[in-house]
Structure formats: C-alpha cells, structure tokens
C-alpha cells in the first residue's frame, strides 16, 4: 500500500474544518516532565492529525525502538507509516475510520474530551525487526466541529513473538472517573463470509450501533426498502433467523466486518 494512499485516507478520516489549534501549553508541560520520567517500554508523542506531524516525541522512543527522536519528529507521520507492517496497514486504517465514525455519530459533543482510544499494529524498529505496538490516544484539542485533531499518544512496545490481532476500542471517562468501554472491534477476524458485500457490511455496522432501518437508510443514502433487503440477505448468508439473533451473535463475538 503506497504512502500516498495512506496519507490520503488518513487525512480524510481526520479532515478538519478550522485553523491549527494551539498546543504549546501541552507540549511545554510534557517537555518539563519528560527528563524526569523513568525509562521503560512506553514512549509518548503529541500527534497532530491536521498537519500529519509529531509536535513532541519523548526520550523513551530510542530506548523502545532504537530510533532517533529528532529524525522521527522531522519525518512526521509519513516516516512512521513507512515503518508499519504492510499486512497491518489496511486493518489499521479501517480501525481508525470506524473509531472516528463512531465518535462523531455516537458520542455527544460535550463528552468527546473524556474519550480514550486504543488500537494496535506492528512497527519496524531500528534493527529491522517488527515489534507489537499498542497505541492509546487521548484527545487534547478539537476543531470547530469538535473533531479530535491533537492527541496525546502513548505507545507500549511488546515482543514480536506475541501474536496480536488488530483490535480497536473507545472508552469514556464516566461520572466515577472510571473508563467505560463504548466500542470494541476485532479487525483481524472476519466473522462475515467473503460473500457479504461492502454495503451489507455498512448495514451490519449500523445495526450493531442500534440504528433503525430508517436511520440506516438516511445515513447510507438508500431507501428503507433497500435496507430491509440487505437485512434479509445478511441473515440468509449468515444463517440466522432474525435481526436480533444477528446482532446478538456479533455482540457476543465482539467483532464484525
């Protein structure tokens, strides 16, 4: 998958609608703290999805991956993407897209600053070895439409011998200051057969998010009858007898599409 395609897809997911926000206060705080933090298997960055840059890279990057922090900062996200395992790129982009769609359609504007997002992939270190990365990103700044564009990203590095499927989750800090899972999907396992069309996959995703046929029709720009036809075809292909059984099956398994 060429970097140009990744960049275009990434920018479409994180398309913003105003000028770059100020992140100086966040960067300055991190710069002050970073020298005093212990070396471990985690590093952090300030990510700017509007400029496709890293506003700051912590000192632990070199200890974790053997990479030079200033080189990564200068190379930005394009350099980072080039080091990702090619087999993980499509699933990773799919995960980001679903997380953004979920946030914009299901999370109230006033709650978006309470969100935390996690996903994983494999990344090549300075030795040319692919290691597992678990990335957790918390939004810091939002654009005029309350779309997260600046984030504090923590990267935990795990041994390459550990097999990890590509998963994504979204959690929200509740009134008890506890993170509550609002979304989870496994993008490695394909519960649905290859015979399920992309449009049917869209319908399934919206069904899981508890949308009615009427709401699905509006979101996808198709008729109510077309949605019902898709639902019948999906149930036939997956050998289930009702929409409730379909949704229950997918929720129990925790993954879809």
Per-residue pLDDT reduced to its tens digit, 133-173: 999 999 888 877 777 788 899 999 998 888 888 889 999 98
Residue 66 has pLDDT above 90, yes or no: yes
Domains along the chain with CATH numbers: 3-186 (3.30.450.20), 198-253 (1.10.10.10)
pTM over 0.75: no
Residue closest to 207 by CA, chosen among 240, 185, 231: 231
More confident residue, 201 or 250: 201
> What is d(CA 110, CA 231) in angstroms, rounded to the nearest whole number?
33
Angle between helices 243-253 and 198-208 (to 10 degrees): 80
Residue 6 has pLDDT above 60, yes or no: yes
Q: What is the pLDDT of residue 256?
A: 46
Residues 6+ apart with CB under 8 A from 91: 121, 166, 187, 188
Q: What is the pLDDT of residue 254?
A: 46
Confidence of residue 180 (pLDDT cuts 50, 70, 90): confident
More confident residue, 43 or 210: 43
Q: Which of 28-42, 43-57, 111-125, 242-256 has the lowest mean pLDDT?
A: 242-256
* Alpha carbon 86 to its chain's center: 17
Average pLDDT over residues 25-43: 76
Report whether 16 contacts 139 (CB < 8 A). no
CB burial of residue 133 (10 Å; 0-12, 13-18, 19+): buried
């Amino acid at each position: 998958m060429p970097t140009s395609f990744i960049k275009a897809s990434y920018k479409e997911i994180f398309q913003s609608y105003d000028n770059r926000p100020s992140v100086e206060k966040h960067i300055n705080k991190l710069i002050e703290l970073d020298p005093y933090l212990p070396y471990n298997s985690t590093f952090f960055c300030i990510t700017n999805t509007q400029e496709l840059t890293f506003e700051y890279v912590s000192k632990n990057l070199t200890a974790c991956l053997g990479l030079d922090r200033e080189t990564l900062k200068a190379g930005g996200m394009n350099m980072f993407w080039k080091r990702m395992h090619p087999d993980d790129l499509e699933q990773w982009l799919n995960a980001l897209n679903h997380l953004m769609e979920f946030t914009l359609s299901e999370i109230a504007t006033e709650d978006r600053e309470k969100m935390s997002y996690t996903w994983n992939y494999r990344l090549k270190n300075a030795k040319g070895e692919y290691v597992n990365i678990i990335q957790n990103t918390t939004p810091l700044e939002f654009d005029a439409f309350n779309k997260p564009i600046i984030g504090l990203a923590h990267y935990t590095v795990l041994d390459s011998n550990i097999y990890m499927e590509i998963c994504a989750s979204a959690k929200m800090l509740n009134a008890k200051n506890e993170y509550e899972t609002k979304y989870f999907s496994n993008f490695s396992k394909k519960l649905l057969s290859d015979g399920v069309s992309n449009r049917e996959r869209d319908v399934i995703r919206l069904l899981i998010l508890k949308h009615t046929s009427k709401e699905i029709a509006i979101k996808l720009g198709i008729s109510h009858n077309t949605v019902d036809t898709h639902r019948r075809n999906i149930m036939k292909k997956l050998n289930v007898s009702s929409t409730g059984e379909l949704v229950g099956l997918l929720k129990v398994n925790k993954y879809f599409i």
